Amino acid sequence: MDPSSSRPLRRLGFLTIGLFDPADPGPGHESTLRLIELGEQLGFDSAWLRHRHLQHGISSPVAVLAAATQRTTSIELGTAVTPLGWENPLRVAEDWATLDVLSGGRLNPGMSVGTPMQWEHVRGSLYPDTADAEDFRHQRAERVLALLRGERASNFSGVQGIETYSERVEPHSPGLIDRCWYGAASTSSALWAAGQGLNLLTSSVVRAEGEPLDDGTYDFAAVQQAQIRAFRAAHPRGDDARVSQGLVVIPTDSATLEQERRYRDYAEGRAARVGVPHGPGRLLFAADLVGPSAELAERLHADPGFAEVDEVAFALPFTFDEPDYRQILTDLATHLGPLLGWRRG
């Protein structure tokens, strides 16, 4: 694909899982905060955290991002994504609004719906009395959105004794609703997000849709492109609807030989899953991209999914150390980003 057919990259972000040592979790959380600070220093437009419940990754992005608001001033902060099956809609609306106020209007909350992962093992702890009554469909997200818009959360407001009560979620952050994102892996979910006027997060995982190739595999990028186009066609803002792509992209321009070896081993260890639908959800995984920025730029310009977006939140690989992430982020900002048309704001 000719690079001129791609949209120039307007916003550069990164995404991290925030791994930590379960025997000593403090340093891992501190490392994540330092990476967000580095991202701001390098001019990244956004930093995003994943949720990892009952794992050794960040389980409370709201808490970590609240700390990040006090150590940064300009970089936007997002969740990619918050699985709402683990959340009470009213409480998550309060948390997000508070975090947005603390950040000065920099929060980009991403969300998804669906039954919580490991549901059969956690339901007794997560919803001991209401597990069978919980609704994990899109209505749960609609409740959050309504509350963020300032719709009624209580049928009482006014003064009772010395206490003053509001009928809406407080604090109310008026611009937050326009910075909400939905993590969609299927066309049906993308269409729902468009109908809600949400922004779209599309990652390195989509559902296998359409016809397979002659060898029975699926072209990830073509599936992703079709989903993005369907989203924009259904969105009130049309071609101006915001979409961010989140592939694993690892530039090696300043990497040591040992770092580059580990990065390539990481990608090769995950390569067998590419192109083949997995599990009952028929999930497709994108290939991890590793190499010098000139090569990565060429590969991305040839990617039909990348051609549809002008925002990215490149995902950091899961298993490396802070010096590796600092090298990757530095190369993304100083080498790859400019080759993709990005200019530091």
- What pLDDT shows up at residue 7? 79
At 283, is the secondary structure helix, strand, or coil? strand
**Secondary-structure breakdown of the chain: helix, strand, coil percentages, each rounded to the nearest 5:** 40, 20, 40
pTM: 0.96
pLDDT at 85 over 60: yes
- Give domain 3-155+165-339's CATH architecture: Alpha-Beta Barrel (3.20)
**CA–CA separation, 112 vs 137, rounded Å?**
9
pLDDT (0 to 100) of residue 3: 55
Tell me, what's the pLDDT at 306? 98
| pLDDT over threshold 80, residue 1 | no
Question: Contact at 8 Å (CB) between 83 and 117?
Answer: yes
pLDDT band at 345 (very low <50, low <70, confident <90, very high): confident
Mean pLDDT of 87-112: 98
Structure tokens at 81: 């994504």
Residue 2: what pLDDT? 53
Distance CA 5, CA 101 (A): 39
State the chain's mean pLDDT as an integer. Answer: 97
Residues 219-270: pLDDT tens digits? 999 999 999 999 999 999 999 999 999 999 999 999 999 999 999 999 999 9
**Cα gap 88→83, rounded to integer Å:** 11
pLDDT digits (tens, 9 = 90+) for 27-64: 999 999 999 999 999 999 999 999 999 999 999 999 99
